[in-house]
A and B are shown apart, each in its own frame.
Chain A
Amino acid sequence: METPGNARRGFVNVLLGGGIGAMMVSVLYPVLRFLIPPKSGEPTTSSVTLPWKPAEIRVNSGRIFKFGSQPGILVRTPAGELRAFGAICTHLNCTVQYREEKQDIWCACHNGVYDLNGKNVSGPPPRPLEAYKTFVKGEQIVVNKGA
């Protein structure tokens, strides 16, 4: 039966429960936010000049370079053309390498294979490698991201 005493008790319980709930939220929210790392202030890189001269890159070879905080891969095809791609495998994030004997780009982690256009041709990778634009300016190789 609803008595004034019961109603008061219910009200106090709601107040107490709400208070405890609010306290839990005010403790947990900062902890959860603390766990999510802040965005780093690093500017996004759109162009890099590589530390090698064009003549240093042999035909049918590849090298990993630093593109901002990520690895890129520079390939000189057997036909002598310079091409650059993002070196991060689209499967599960490993870093790819150039295979001279098979003339392709290969990921050692799960045996993913890309052709020299960066297209995924066998194994588990679901998408092509990110393609970069490559320019040779005199003795410098410049790699650009996007259009």
Chain B
Amino acid sequence: MALPRMVQRLTAWLDERVNVTEIWEFVRHKVVPVHRHTVWYYFGGMTLFLFAIQVCTGILLLLYYRPSAEEAYESVQFIVTEVHFGWLIRSIHSWSANLMIATLMIHLFSVYFTQAYRKPRELTWVSGMCLFGIALFFGFSGYLLPWNALAYFATKVGTDVAGQVPVVGHLLTQILRGGEEVTGATLSRFYGIHVAILPLLTTGILGIHLFLVQKQGMSVPVELERSGSPPTTMPFFPNFLLRDLVGWLTALAVLAALAAYFPWELGVKADPFAPAPAGIRPEWYFMYMFQTLKYLPAKIGPLDGELVGIMGFGLGGLFLLLVPFLDQRAARGEKSPLFFWIGVGIVTYIVVLSVLGYVAPGGQ
């Protein structure tokens, strides 16, 4: 029997039971608007691609990793020195995590600046912001797993920050740490969070996010929508998907190059009775917060400086989460310069403080 005939019969068999033609018809009719901001559409898919890489490499690392204070560092050392291609898998996992956060941020702010969060896509935005929060928590929890000195102190600081939350702070720190201090109990918890809880949450929320994107189609910029003329489009399949694939292949090439030429370092094993090493700093996507905490004075009015900083970041996050409901002009399909400039302010702040984190002299 010829192959096409077999495929045809298989399709017919499936169609009779689950109506796959309907799905195929949906894919065939799906179009993507073409305009000068179309390029930003690729970053969501790129993030999804990098997430898929995280899942695959993460599963592989699970086969050798041991989540305890006594064995974690040694098991990662074993992975990168003894296991065939272990260095590559671990390095890709670390690099892909960082690239994923980067593409996620580009995706987030491109949606923000094109006001694509506006009615009727409020829930898509909110689910996306939840995924962003989860991604940061993925980064934070995964950072501890090799149990090295940098990660140990980053976790001490990070969980202490959670302790600044009014009323429930202490309880939150205890739940995160699995006790009063960062110990092997913390490592067990972060492991559970990193490989079970966060993937479960991601699967659910990502499902909703992607469903909404398919259901509502791509948003077009306000000015194009207001011009009244129907936008030019290209078919999703195969035109847009093939372009997507080129992006993914590029990402894979960049990833392989980074992993091979700049293998991710393991550092020294965590020692709870050693001072925090000079030059300690968090991952780049937490750098602006870290640098802000350095600049804040011990007291701002009656409050501790760090509390003011943490409340500031909390309010910033809340603002971003709720922006579709705050920006009434965008909801009416109008341009909203105020929100545009607030966005510019946020991005400038993040960029300037992050750069300062790397270039400010003498541990300032």
Contacts and interface: CB of A to CB of B under 8 A. Distances in A.
A108 B363 contact: yes
A125 interface: yes
Given A124-B293, A124-B297, A124-B306, A69 B181 contact: yes
A66 interface: yes
Given A36-B174, A37-B185, A71 B272 contact: yes
A110 B298 contact: no
Contacts of A75: none
Nearest to B157: A92
Interface stretch (B204-212, B236-244, B259-267, B273-281): B273-281
Nearest to A93: B160
Interface residues of A, number: 30
A55 interface: no
B153 A66 contact: no
Which of the listed residues B177, B275, B278, B364 has the most CB atoms from chain A within 10 Å of its own CB? Answer: B275
Interface residues of B, number: 36
Interface string A19-43: 0000000000000000111001000
B273 A66 contact: yes
B118 to A, nearest CB: 36
Given A92-B156, A93-B156, A65 B306 contact: no
A61 interface: no
A129 interface: no
A110 B158 CA distance: 12
Nearest to B310: A92
A110 B363 CA distance: 8
Given A107-B276, A123-B298, 8 more contacts: A36-B174, A36-B175, A40-B180, A94-B157, A108-B280, A108-B363, A110-B157, A124-B294
12 contacts: A69-B180, A69-B181, A91-B293, A96-B275, A97-B275, A107-B276, A124-B293, A124-B294, A124-B297, A125-B298, A126-B298, A126-B304
Pairs A-B, 10 closest by C-beta atoms: A97-B275, A93-B160, A94-B276, A126-B298, A108-B276, A92-B157, A92-B160, A93-B156, A110-B294, A126-B304
